[in-house]
Amino acid sequence: MFAKQYGPWALIAGGSEGVGESFALKLAAEGVNLVLVARKAEPLEALADRIRESSSIQVRTLVQDLTAPEMLDRVKGVTADIDVGLLIYNAGSVSHFSAFLDDTMEETMRMVRLGVVAPTILAHHFGEGMRGRGRGGIILIGSMAGYAGAPGEIVYSGGKAFSRMLAEGLWYELKPHNVHVLGLILGLTRTPAMARLGLAMNNPDFVPDEPDAVVEEAFVHLADGPIWNVGGKEEGARYLGTIPRADAVAFMAKGAKDLHG
């Protein structure tokens, strides 16, 4: 049933490590063929080889910067002859923390393209095909940072807020066409990207989620939509959405300081 609704191919943008890797391994176990897209060639090809050696599914890879102007053309080049029934947009983790005015405009616009432009382009392209076929699924990976302006990662949090709104609207529009859409909201997650940032993973107030558990929750709730807060964080999301906005921003600033140790 899973492959019938979401197969025979899935495309994972940001599919080389962490949560993307867990998605790939779970989908391979479900018999869904994979298109893995990521910027770094070495981990991408290593994961693809690992899946090919342990399963009979097909795996295609594309080494691609999702912020580049030619992104969609290159994605089309590796998917034009296949039926992509599931899109997972897992790209866009924060790469560093910096005050908005201290970052370069080049880096700022890169984050806009990664968090806003690229998921919009891919959701439009693959969503059109899914609507026409009357089946499919789209998972947009969000963040608790998208519930309030997050000092030190303002553009990242703005992109994740956009991702949540995109998921909610798409869920409503595509539901009549049997296309499931889920905005999957992550908190602190134990991934290589978070390790590279040096975030504290042993703070009892911020217990990290594990990538495999994140993926399990995603597939349990994909058909429900439009939003699922991973790891029982619904209460925290509701709190951030109901308190005064100044308090919400202050809460995000304190959380970031605690995570940085």
Tell me, what amino acid is at 30? E
The CATH number linked to 6 is 3.40.50.720
Query: Please, what is the average pLDDT of the chain?
Result: 92
Q: Which own/partner pairs from 40-47 qualify as long-range (CB within 8 Å, at least 24 positions apart)?
A: 40/16, 43/16, 43/17, 44/15, 44/16, 47/15, 47/16, 47/17, 47/21
Can you give the pLDDT at residue 164?
A: 97
Closest by CA to 187, choosing from 207, 215, 167, 164, is 207
Q: Are 156 and 111 in contact (CB under 8 A)?
A: yes
**Reported confidence tier of residue 17, pLDDT bands at 50, 70, 90:** confident
Lowest mean pLDDT among 132-136, 202-206, 242-246: 202-206
- The angle at the Cα of 120, spanning 116 to 121, to the nearest 5 degrees, equals 120
Residue in the structure block whose two tokens are 């391994």: 25
Confidence band for 198, pLDDT divided at 50, 70 and 90: low
Q: Which amino acid appears at position 180 of this protein? A: H
DSSP category for residue 144: G
Measured distance CA(45)–CA(102) in Å, rounded: 35
Q: Is 175 a catalytic residue?
A: no
Average pLDDT on 90-94 reads 80
| Cβ atoms of residues 109 and 152 within 8 Å | no
If residue 181 lies in a helix (H) or strand (E), which one and from where to where?
A: strand 179-186
Q: What is the pLDDT of residues 54-64, one digit of tens each?
A: 999 999 999 99
Cα separation, 15 vs 38, in Å, equals: 6
pTM value surpassing 0.75: yes
Instruction: Report residue 97's pLDDT band, with 50, 70 and 90 as the boundaries.
Output: confident
Question: What was the pLDDT predicted at 259?
Answer: 63
Q: How confident is the model at residue 197 (pLDDT cuts 50, 70, 90)?
A: low
> So what's the pLDDT on residue 191?
74
Active site residue 156: yes
What is the total count of domains within the chain? 1
**Model confidence over 142-185: pLDDT tens digits?**
999 999 999 999 999 999 999 999 999 999 999 999 999 999 99
Summarised one tens digit per residue, pLDDT across range 18-66 is 999 999 999 999 999 999 999 999 999 999 999 999 999 999 999 999 9
Instruction: Select which of 6, 89, 147, 156 is catalytic.
Output: 156
**Considering 40, 160, 172, 233, which one is annotated as catalytic?**
160
Q: Residue 148 belongs to what domain range?
A: 2-259
